[in-house]
Structure 1
Amino acid sequence: MQGTEYGDEALKQAMKTELKQRLLEAEKEHRPLRIYCGFDPRKADLHLGHTVPMNKLRQFQDCGHEVTFLIGNFTSLIGDPSDKDILRPQLTPEEVAENGRTYAEQAFRILDPKKTIIRYNAEWLSKLSFADLIKLASNFTVQQFLTRENFKLRWEKGDAIYLHETFYSIMQGYDAYAMRSDVQVGGTDQLFNIVTAARKVMTYMGEKPNIAIILGILPGTDGVVKMSKSLGNHIPINTNAEDMFGKVMSIPDSAMPTYSRLITRWTPADIKVIEDGLKDGSLHPRDAKMKLAREVTASFYGESEADQAQDAFIRLFQKHDVPDEVPETIISRDQSLLDILVACQLVGSRSDGRRMVEQKGVKLDGVVLTDGKEPLQHEGVLQVGKRHFVRVKFA
């Protein structure tokens, strides 16, 4: 139950009790539990926030249970409205297929490919008839959907709520039934879909309701807002060890406990040792974050590359590879990275700057910057190549 977050202690205890009971039942039946999590391939690249449920799936794998990585190639045609206060754009089947091809490959950086079942929910959802949908929908009221925060906000603002958006929860509930799942893993934004919709659908269809493992949402590198590529506070999976290590080191100290519980392989006992060390002063926050960055990096790139990334970070920041005298310049918060590089004469032109960014040759405090159109998230030492440095401060 590490990392779980239900917003209701009674619900958490109920799920915990059901999980224990289901484990005992499965043991008597000499079978593993059937665990799954669904992923809608609406974007091609995943970031650390997407890996939170994958880490929980891996825990179940390591305990000997059956794990299904469900690609929502049918639900993606609607788009999950759970964490959105606007209508999601509908993807074409071609876009979904293209994005879905990359998901399993990225997921196998965490999951054991030999122990992971890959399925696509079009396998059963595409076969449902209109009569089937009527029967399933009869289990829900309009009021249930309108009390959800995202729909409620749109209703109060007078924004449109489209009927097909309510189908998403029903479709996800049918996923759980179709696979006869024992446990479904998801984030807090999936609470309604899993606890209300899936359990109701499974019960209606004559199956034992699945058990919800609801996980907290990983904040971005700002430590506050949900990790998102569009907000520029994400840590991508498809990067390199040095970049991942540096980005984890950039998170605020306050975010370390959340990161430790949601995206590491550490046990509760491991985390307690670190937290106790921070409380009694025997462990410096910088050293604790170094342990965290190494653990996260190692889980994706292996021990050797994680060690190399740590050594590179230490050389750059703890052994003062940055020159003692670095010119300082004042920038505005809304200037793009490319504009800053040109204004500081770190590159000869925007095209040169764009090329350096693409080659991962531009860093802020040792963290590789990947989007030349975005403004800087914080002040620090901006580095281009190996020899050009400037300390940037906001006006």
Structure 2
Amino acid sequence: MYHRYTIALYLLFATCISCVLGQNFTGANWIWIPGRAADDTYPAGNVTFRRDFTAANGKVPISVNILITTDNAFTLYVGGNLVGSGNTFTSAHRFCVPLMNGCNVFAIAAQNFAPSPAGLLAAFQIHYTDGTVDNIVTDGEWRAVNGTAAGFEQCAFDDSSWPAAFVEGPFPTTAPWNAPQNAISIPPETQDPGPSLQSAQWIWTNEVTGPGSSVPEGSRAFRKTVIVPNGGLVAQAKIFIATDNAFTLYVNGLLVGSGGSFTVANRYVVNFPPTSRVVIAVYATNAGGPAGVFAAFDLATFDCSKNVFFVTDGSWKYNLGTPAGFIDPDFDDSTWSLAVTEGGFGATPWGATTVPAANSPQSPAANGAPIAPPADVVA
């Protein structure tokens, strides 16, 4: 039986997952202060921008992903804290900043180096504990003033007398930034290397008598529970998995997919509501001869902390059967034994396992495997 809260969270998260698959400048505008000259230039000098943000009642923000560039330079603050700076408008910058529950302010000190066009372009993607997302972009809702005021970066600063920012036009069609020589380089959303099978171990049960030995036919259950360090939150799993002979994979009680090759791994990207605890369950079947499960995982954080990496190794647990409910995140596996390792990447008899370039789609459970609601698998 599946917990109703698990299914409810999945349905809620699935409605907004398209919001978090990528961040760019779509919907953002180039802004500056009112008073642009007839030739579309501004004098050299400093301009300060602010945008207050308070979460709706009942919603708790986790973090904000920020994409920003300025012609010519910027210094960015969030909630009164210095985040970063840049001074080349053709090179955008990305930042991830944890947010407090309550008032937060996005504040930017910008500079135009010489009489010329000037503009600020930014997008803010705010993540909440319920898995939903809000997007804020540079537009007429921002306030802007010439010069710099002491304490402007603080949430309590009163900017009520500041005028609204002047909207110069949308990205990517506004001149002069739409010229080919002014194309903006947008950095990748992550420098994460992803999961790696190089450090994974082939694992099975105590039926193994030696590396690659033959074991009885049949299905076995495997589980791994991961607690994110320091109370961090993760919201996506990248997974490479291969088995000898077949598997059905579950993440937090939801069905990811099935496969049946030890030479070519299945490659999955799975989204789920932010959580500090992830449970992986595998229904693995041996059709004769050697048997093994071989996998690597990369859990992406939602709170700006480092990703969590793990692989199949001797810390996994197994059961010689497939007990009812073993895929449930709250299933008690305390009496299960630790998996037996059979060898690493390239071990005999399996050899090197390759990983395809394309993601595997969500697929049905194998015959005999537990039925579960589908996970949100990115094909």
Scaled to the shorter chain, the TM-score interval is under 0.3
Q: Using structure 1 for the length normalisation, give the TM-score.
A: 0.23
Point out which structure has higher relative CO (alpha carbons under 8 A, 6+ apart): 2
Which structure has greater strand proportion? Answer: 2
Which structure has greater helix proportion? Answer: 1
